[in-house]
Amino acid sequence: MTSVRSPYPDVHIPDNVSFFEYVTGNFKNFGNKPAMTDGITGASYTFHQLDDAIKRVASALVKRGLKKGEVVAIISPNCIEWPVLFFAVISVGGIITTCNHGYKETELSSQLSNAGAVYLVAAKSSVRTVSKMRYKVRERFIIGDADGYTSYSELIRDDGSRFPSFVKINSKTDICVLPYSSGTTGVSKGVMISHYNLVANLEQTRPVRIRNRKNNCSLAVLPFYHIYGMVVIMSSCLRYGNHCVTLPGFEPKSFLRTIEKYKDSLLSTVVASMENIHICSARKSYVRNISVRDVSPSKVARLSLVPPLALFLLKSPLVDKYDLSSLEDAGSGAAPLGDEVMQQFLRKMKVKRFVQGYGMTEASPTITLVSPDENHNLGSVGRPVPNTQCKFIDPDSGKVLPPNVPGEILVKGPQVMLGYLNRPKATAETIDKDGWLHTGDVGYYDENGICYIVDRIKELIKYKGYQVAPAELESLLKSHPDISDAAIIGIPDERAGEIPRAYIILKDSGNGKITTEKIQEYVTSKVAPHKRLRGGIAIVTEIPKSASGKILRRLIRDQYKKSIAK
């Protein structure tokens, strides 16, 4: 066997619809079912309201000059306005680039200028960061209100008259979203994901994903700015008429309280509709009351997790204080999760299924998935989704490996990105001439075609499932006046999976003035929280490099392992 083909029959992937049409086309059939609810405030949109809101906001954006192919950046925690803005932009052929809401001004500026963003949507929590940003956009929008911004409430008051009845989209070549990923090496790059890539990935996962099958409710605690939250949770929920309850981030008590509160969302949705009346004036005129008759029974039955959240549910004593009995299914992805943790989770949380998915931004994102119908091989990431081939190669020789021998995972399928924005060299290094995406992950498949991930050969560090690019931190450290060279590795951490650790060489041996504490402060002031040097800083006199100047990270990692084993 040279490659592992999906065991599922190929699915038909429509190539004549935009992602907007694909996801929202069924909204009329879902009518007054709840679509998006804010888990904290109870503010809620039904499918009918969401549809109407998207059209109004799209029309308002067209009136302000948004054109097909222009990039709109969004920096906001999860909220019910997020999908409105997202689908409004792509409905008119605009491209969405999503930013981590913890970003500092340099990180934000760098992404926006690289993406060529012409508009910015921000949450109130990012106003300070945006005000310090050097990069200027044509117009700024805000979820809430702030001076110098056009507010969401103004956009939603639009009469919808300029919502375009038709936008010509070439779904295979037009970019729909532009999330950022460091891929196998270097700094973050814009991942050009087409409408077709996204339609394909939702179609490919349809036969395998439980969420797509029944009328349930998912808790969206993972951020929509990351491909997992954006596609696997938000878009998939909406496409299939499922209810999505959003949280702005992970906070233990509100996370548990929200699952308990929405354990029977027939009741909670009605409560939410009454709460709506008191929300904000902009929504008040817009959000209609939902009658009990309108609401189909659904409950928070489905949790999409990253390994640290699974560990939290397993270990925190807080968990026993809440009624989580509505949970039926859990899934984890974005970082490795061992079979033992999965077994303990199944026992403790009493969920029917706990499955893993494996994917990456560059694959829109899902590559393999465990089918809920065959919930065994707990440590595995399942099988390639329909229309997908994987092969496992020796990274040095390129030789295709047989079952049970770990090698680099290569992927081919309709979900593979168009490439990296303005980076032909990086694109060619990642997608080879035969169309195989080189993932930089190491894994193997067994005799039954079930896949396992065992390691990563790419530079990427994953802190709680979020990307940290070593090259970016190294460049930041080297920009410090007292540092002449730097290397970053990821070291294991029980709670976060991995944490970044720095090795630095000081200029003039630091003259005794600079301390690692000061360097920590410097880094902390410049980067989003998930990139902080939580693994510490070591001052060294040499950084091991290859003849071509590449940092030998594996060697540094091995040295680190030896030092802690002593």
Contact region with ligand 4UV (CB under 6 A), list: 78-86, 213-221, 290-298, 331-339: 331-339
Contact region with ligand 4UV (CB under 6 A), list: 161-169, 352-360, 513-521, 547-555: 352-360
Answer yes or no whether residue 439 interacts with ligand 4UV by CB under 6 A. Answer: yes
Which one of 54, 178, 300, 381 is in contact with ligand 4UV (CB under 6 A)? 381
Answer yes or no whether residue 360 interacts with ligand 4UV by CB under 6 A. Answer: yes
Q: Residue-wise over 54-78: b if at least 16 C-beta within 10 A, else e?
A: bbbbbbbbbeeebeeebbbbbbbbb
Which one of 51, 81, 203, 441 is in contact with ligand 4UV (CB under 6 A)? 441
In the complex, the smallest distance separating the C-beta of residue 442 from ligand 4UV, rounded to whole angstroms, is: 9
Answer yes or no whether residue 310 interacts with ligand 4UV by CB under 6 A. Answer: no
Answer yes or no whether residue 467 interacts with ligand 4UV by CB under 6 A. Answer: yes
CB-wise, 160 or 449, nearer to ligand 4UV? Answer: 449
CA distances 162 to 55, 60, 117, 380, Å, are: 9, 7, 22, 49
Token pair belonging to 547: 């003849």
CB-wise, 41 or 344, nearer to ligand 4UV? Answer: 344
Answer yes or no whether residue 453 interacts with ligand 4UV by CB under 6 A. Answer: yes
Contact region with ligand 4UV (CB under 6 A), list: 170-178, 235-243, 350-358, 398-406: 350-358
Answer yes or no whether residue 357 interacts with ligand 4UV by CB under 6 A. Answer: yes
Which one of 111, 188, 269, 361 is in contact with ligand 4UV (CB under 6 A)? 361
Answer yes or no whether residue 333 interacts with ligand 4UV by CB under 6 A. Answer: yes
Answer yes or no whether residue 181 interacts with ligand 4UV by CB under 6 A. Answer: yes
For residue 223, the number of C-alpha atoms closer than 13 Å in the C-beta half-sphere is 18
Which one of 96, 115, 335, 417 is in contact with ligand 4UV (CB under 6 A)? 335
In the complex, the smallest distance separating the C-beta of residue 226 from ligand 4UV, rounded to whole angstroms, is: 6
Which one of 24, 46, 268, 366 is in contact with ligand 4UV (CB under 6 A)? 366
Token pair belonging to 37: 């609810």
As a dihedral over the C-alpha atoms of residue 340, residue 344, residue 347, residue 350, rounded to 10 degrees, the angle is -110
Cis omega (within 30 of 0) for bond into 365: yes
In the complex, the smallest distance separating the C-beta of residue 195 from ligand 4UV, rounded to whole angstroms, is: 19
Other residues' Cβ atoms within 10 Å of the Cβ of residue 562? 9
Answer yes or no whether residue 268 interacts with ligand 4UV by CB under 6 A. Answer: no
Please enumerate in sequence order all residues whose Cβ is within 8 A of that of 52, keeping only pairs 6 or more positions apart, or say none: 160, 286
Answer yes or no whether residue 109 interacts with ligand 4UV by CB under 6 A. Answer: no
- CB–CB of 387/204 below 8 Å? yes
- Please tell me the chain's helix, strand, coil percentages from 3-state DSSP, rounded to the nearest 5: 35, 25, 40
Which one of 227, 272, 282, 461 is in contact with ligand 4UV (CB under 6 A)? 227
The CA distance from 266 to 301, in Å, is 13
H runs (alpha helix) in 242-398: 252-261, 265-276, 281-284, 307-315, 339-349
The CA distance from 503 to 494, in Å, is 21
Answer yes or no whether residue 283 interacts with ligand 4UV by CB under 6 A. Answer: no
In the complex, the smallest distance separating the C-beta of residue 455 from ligand 4UV, rounded to whole angstroms, is: 9
- CB–CB of 194/418 below 8 Å? yes
Handedness of CA 400, 401, 406, 411 (dihedral sign): positive
Answer yes or no whether residue 359 interacts with ligand 4UV by CB under 6 A. Answer: yes
| Phi, psi (rounded to 5 degrees) for 327 | -70, 130
CA proximity to 93, closest of 170, 198, 179: 170
CB-wise, 27 or 228, nearer to ligand 4UV? Answer: 228
Answer yes or no whether residue 331 interacts with ligand 4UV by CB under 6 A. Answer: yes
Answer yes or no whether residue 176 interacts with ligand 4UV by CB under 6 A. Answer: no
Answer yes or no whether residue 111 interacts with ligand 4UV by CB under 6 A. Answer: no
Fill in the per-residue mask, 391 to 430: x = in contact with ligand 4UV (CB under 6 A), - = not in contact. Answer: ----------------------------------------
What is the number of residues in the chain? 566
CB-wise, 259 or 335, nearer to ligand 4UV? Answer: 335
Q: Pairing state of beta strands 383-384 and 71-75?
A: unpaired
In the complex, the smallest distance separating the C-beta of residue 108 from ligand 4UV, rounded to whole angstroms, is: 18
Which one of 72, 80, 220, 232 is in contact with ligand 4UV (CB under 6 A)? 232
513: left (phi over 0), alpha (psi -120 to 50) or beta: alpha
CB-wise, 48 or 456, nearer to ligand 4UV? Answer: 456
CB-wise, 46 or 356, nearer to ligand 4UV? Answer: 356
Contact region with ligand 4UV (CB under 6 A), list: 52-60, 251-259, 290-298, 354-362: 354-362
Question: What one-character-per-residue DSSP string does 102-149 give?
Answer: T--HHHHHHHHHHHTEEEEEEEGGGHHHHHH-S---SEEEEES--TTS
The CA distance from 296 to 32, in Å, is 9
Contact region with ligand 4UV (CB under 6 A), list: 53-61, 266-274, 359-367, 393-401: 359-367
CA proximity to 359, closest of 370, 372, 344: 370
Handedness of CA 49, 54, 57, 63 (dihedral sign): negative
Total of residues contacting ligand 4UV (CB under 6 A)? 26
The footprint of ligand 4UV (CB under 6 A) covers 181, 227-228, 232, 331, 333-336, 356-361, 365-366, 369, 381, 439, 441, 453, 456, 462, 465, 467
